[in-house]
Amino acid sequence: MSQRSEVSDNEISIRDLIEVVWKGKFFIAIVTVIAVIVSAVVSFFILPETYSTTMSLAVKPVTVKMSTIDN
């Protein structure tokens, strides 16, 4: 019995996946750049401004009275 390490016709190898991604690298880069530009335009010009507030809290000092327990 000998085992063959060949890939059958209906299986996809990692090498095939890397080749497909490498061939489409310019398309992937263009889509990424367009997505970044669109998201920047939406966030700067279309979305409403968000407002924030701050609060200061003043706490009165507490004095603690301690007593000792002696026999």
Instruction: Confirm whether 42 is domain-assigned.
Output: yes
Decide if pLDDT at 1 tops 50: no
Count structural domains, the chain. Answer: 1
> Helix 14-23 to helix 25-41 angle, to the nearest 10 degrees?
60
Instruction: Confirm whether 32 is domain-assigned.
Output: yes
Structural domain harbouring 22: 14-46
- Cβ-contact 28, 21 below 8 angstroms: yes
pLDDT digits (tens, 9 = 90+) for 9-47: 788 899 999 999 999 999 999 999 999 999 999 999 888
- Cβ-contact 13, 7 below 8 angstroms: yes
CA distances to 28, 39, 45, 67 from 42, rounded to whole Å, are: 21, 5, 6, 65
Instruction: Confirm whether 20 is domain-assigned.
Output: yes
Instruction: Confirm whether 37 is domain-assigned.
Output: yes
Instruction: Confirm whether 19 is domain-assigned.
Output: yes
Per-residue pLDDT at 2? 47
Instruction: Confirm whether 18 is domain-assigned.
Output: yes
Instruction: Confirm whether 23 is domain-assigned.
Output: yes
d(CA 32, CA 19) in angstroms, rounded, equals 19
